[in-house]
Amino acid sequence: MKIGAILLAAADGGRPTPPWPEVRSFALAAEAQGLDSVWMFDHFFYRPSAGPIEGQHEAWTIVSAVASVTERVEIGTLVLCSSFRSPSLVAKMAAAADEVSGGRLILGLGAGWHDAEYDAFGFPKDHRVGRFEEAVEIVAPLLRGETVTFEGTYEVARDAVLVPAPGRRIPILVAAFGTRMLRISARHADAWNTAWFGAPDDRLAERLRALDAALEAEGRDPATLARTVGVNVVDLEQDPNAGDDEDDDRSFRGSVDELARAIDDYEALGIDHLIVLLQPMTEASIERLAAALARR
């Protein structure tokens, strides 16, 4: 099972959005500590129900920058909002970022959810799943070397082709839990994501069963779709207040030894890639995660 971490590229725990040197240092630390991947959220900002707006750097810019300064870790988006960019542009950018990284990109896609940024920047909120489905029907074949002509309700492509073509099959990950999104995942994705969790629980088991049902409905071999799970890991020694706004079952708050056992439990469930949101988002938290991995 692979282990990755969300990049430090957004405001965290009342701290301001980190400057690029801190983002770079965090990514390099993750690579040096032996993690398999780093991941970038895709938001303009997050507006909580109370308190100030929390800022974040633009996702594709950070992905490309991290690709240029790292050598080994995979670099993923968790997940790119299909509403924010045209699907043909997403495919073109993915091919370029994969080239920069030397074949390390994981293109995570999702339908979007945070209404505040849609309203602020003028993106349509209607039919998000329908818009997402059409976008994937353009992105996926383009990345797989096909010439695409598509005319839907929301998206259009006419003899679109990527030149130069991607140097490999860039994996597409879809974040999904609703029935329709799970069917889209089963139809088009190389990997599926669900989040956020603490230790494995009944909620995760239910989502895994729903995924299996979608795969069966689409006639797809379950072994051909990678399963990824987002996990909140809180270090209370570094910050006793970290993760206070999270439900107990959505954050892991145990010791390093307990974390090692929880990671083993995820692997036993057949999870292929664990994506960890560290709280607080510090290099010390990366070292703590690496210590847990060493104790497995």
What integer pLDDT is reported at residue 87 of this predicted model? Answer: 98
Quote the number of domains for the chain.
1
- Mapped onto helix, strand or coil, the DSSP state of residue 240 is coil
What integer pLDDT is reported at residue 240 of this predicted model? Answer: 82
What integer pLDDT is reported at residue 249 of this predicted model? Answer: 73
What integer pLDDT is reported at residue 245 of this predicted model? Answer: 55
In order, the DSSP letters of 27-84 are HHHHHHTT-SEEEE---SEE--SSSPPEEB--HHHHHHHHHHH-SSSEEEES-EETTS
Closest CA to 208 of 225, 190, 188: 225
Rounded distance between C-alpha atoms, residue 296 and residue 259, angstroms? 9
pLDDT confidence tier of residue 244, bands split at 50, 70 and 90: low
For residue 219, the 8-state DSSP code is T
- In this prediction the pTM is 0.96
What integer pLDDT is reported at residue 241 of this predicted model? Answer: 74
- The alpha carbon of 177 is separated from its chain's Cα centroid by a whole number of angstroms, namely 14
What integer pLDDT is reported at residue 176 of this predicted model? Answer: 97
Give me the chain's average pLDDT, please.
95
- Helices 256-268 and 283-294 cross at an angle (nearest 10°) of 60
Mean pLDDT of 137-166: 98
Mean pLDDT of 228-253: 83
Q: For residue range 16-41, what is the model confidence (pLDDT) as tens digits?
A: 999 999 999 999 999 999 999 999 99
Q: For residue range 158-208, what is the model confidence (pLDDT) as tens digits?
A: 999 999 999 999 999 999 999 999 999 999 999 999 999 999 999 999 999
Closest CA to 229 of 50, 95, 39, 24: 39
Q: The CATH number of the domain where 211 resides is what?
A: 3.20.20.30
Q: Which of 10-24, 31-45, 229-243 has the highest mean pLDDT?
A: 31-45
Rounded distance between C-alpha atoms, residue 68 and residue 102, angstroms? 9
- Helices 59-69 and 87-101 cross at an angle (nearest 10°) of 20
Q: Is the pLDDT of residue 50 over 90?
A: no
What integer pLDDT is reported at residue 13 of this predicted model? Answer: 66
Domain that holds residue 126: 2-294
- Mapped onto helix, strand or coil, the DSSP state of residue 183 is helix
Mean pLDDT of 128-141: 98
pLDDT confidence tier of residue 120, bands split at 50, 70 and 90: very high
